[in-house]
Amino acid sequence: MKREEYRSSVWKKAIAAASAFIVIAGTGAGGFILFNKSLDKNIKVSTEIISENNSDDEELYEKEFLSPFGDISEWKIRCTDPAYAPYLLDFDSETVKKLSEIFNSSEWKEVSSNGGDGERSIMWLNSGKRSYELAVCHNNVILVTNGDNTVSYVVSEEITDAVFKAAKPDDLHGKLIWSKPENLTEDGVWINNEAVPDEIFEPYEPEEMKDKIIETDEPVYEFDYNPSEIESIGELSDNIVIGRVDSISCPSRGLSEDGMSAVTQISVTVSSDTEGKFREGEKVNLYMLGGYISLREASGELMYKSDEENDNTFIHEIVWSGEVPFAGKDYAFYISEYTGEYNIPGGEYGILYKCDNTYIRRNYNSFEFYDIDDLRSYLISREEAETLGRIKQLYPEFFENINSPSVEIYVWKMAEDLYMCGLMPVTNSNKTEEELMKLQGKALTLDECRLFLKARRVKTGNFAVFPIKQPCSGYFGEIDDGELENIFSD
């Protein structure tokens, strides 16, 4: 099976917009003396009380450090660099201790400088009580920001070289943490703490298929939406489920005599959902197109091989990449309920890997990053969902298939500027008076009808509007062509 490689694309995409952002990010200004002692008028020195254990006796003594921060050997340090911004890199404990030694082995002289033009690495230091942002420039100037105040220092080349080396390790895969550009701040850089994985899906190769004959099929599906657009996925969905993947399996669907279709079942333990329809810990099965199906099931009554071959041959239907989520990992799933089952519109494009507080979506050969508010914004509102539920009850025939329907909309006037609508499927015959009168019991307002068109992605050209009169209306005015054109113009 073809395994797609996504590593290089993710990092190249990050590099593309890095330089311009980093130059902007380091342009703090202002001045504030944070430190309480100096060796001369230019050098600010930090004084800390250091505790050491000597046998059972604890000795407290005062130690001076050349850096403005004192001993940072136990601090957390995170950085970004033009090579991978706005991703963040955590420095390991060994790197932090080395930087602490180098920072305190050379002088820090306060100067009047904005660091000049050019790229710079940005570091964030955090002790739990104190935090700083450092913009490390190639002219050996470091801008130190605390809150709204920035102080500039000129330092030794040894210090800047140590920072640039630490910020660019030989191997970055599996080490970078995603951050929104607007979160590259003293507080924002600590929102996420899990590194972005190199892969968020894997090939699906069930153990029970190892001794079977596998025939690969890549069926061509025509969708009336673009699965690469998360907006399209959101409009087709009515909920987002977040949970841990328990298992992957391949049941089959359809009528056995006509041949069945392969689907992939993803069994999930729910942790939450945006619409409050599931309990925490509830088990739910989600479905997407593609997977493994026996030749006997796929062929129905049109089997063309021997019984033994039909029983031991399986077809692997590959839709999109054919890959599946990792079992044991947490994901967010866009879902849509149809006939009591929960489908994933767009398959893998509607599945996002949960990486701490970030949700990662694979779109062809790159990653897209969202937070939960971003994902929720692509769904229709809870109020709209309730309204849509009522419309489903009135017109279930338009919700039985995931594809957008073609619709005839019949409009009548109840009063000046008050319209009601009824829906009917497109046919080649005229509707009878009896059929049209039944629409009075299933009347929708214009807003409800527009919501239906939006939710079911019925575009101009797939619906037609007809003016009618209904006995329930005492209004005798006509609906002219200009009115019809304006009613659904948007």
* Burial class, 126, CB count within 10 angstroms (exposed 0-12 / middle 13-18 / buried 19+): middle
- pLDDT of amino acid 61: 43
Q: Which residue is listed with tokens 């008076």? A: 433
- pLDDT of amino acid 252: 65
Single-letter amino acid code for the residue at 287: Y
C-alpha span between 413 and 369 (Å, rounded): 47
Output the six-digit token pair for 89.
Answer: 């890199």
- pLDDT of amino acid 324: 96
**What is the rounded end-to-end Cα distance, in angstroms, of the chain?**
45
- pLDDT of amino acid 387: 87
Q: What is the mean pLDDT of each run of 10 residues along the chain (490 residues)?
A: 32 35 33 27 46 47 71 95 94 95 91 86 94 94 92 94 94 91 91 93 88 86 78 86 95 56 92 92 94 80 65 86 95 88 92 95 88 84 78 87 79 87 90 92 92 80 87 74 67
Instruction: Say how many CA atoms lie within 13 Å of 464 toward its Cβ.
Output: 7
H helix or E strand, kind and range, residue 160 = helix 157-167
- DSSP 8-state code for residue 55: T
Helices 382-394 and 446-455, interaxial angle, to 10°? 90
Length of the chain: 490
H helix or E strand, kind and range, residue 163 = helix 157-167
- How many other C-beta atoms are found inside a 10 Å radius of the C-beta of residue 23? 16
- pLDDT of amino acid 215: 87
- pLDDT of amino acid 388: 83
Task: Indicate yes or no: pTM above 0.85.
Answer: no
- pLDDT of amino acid 281: 97
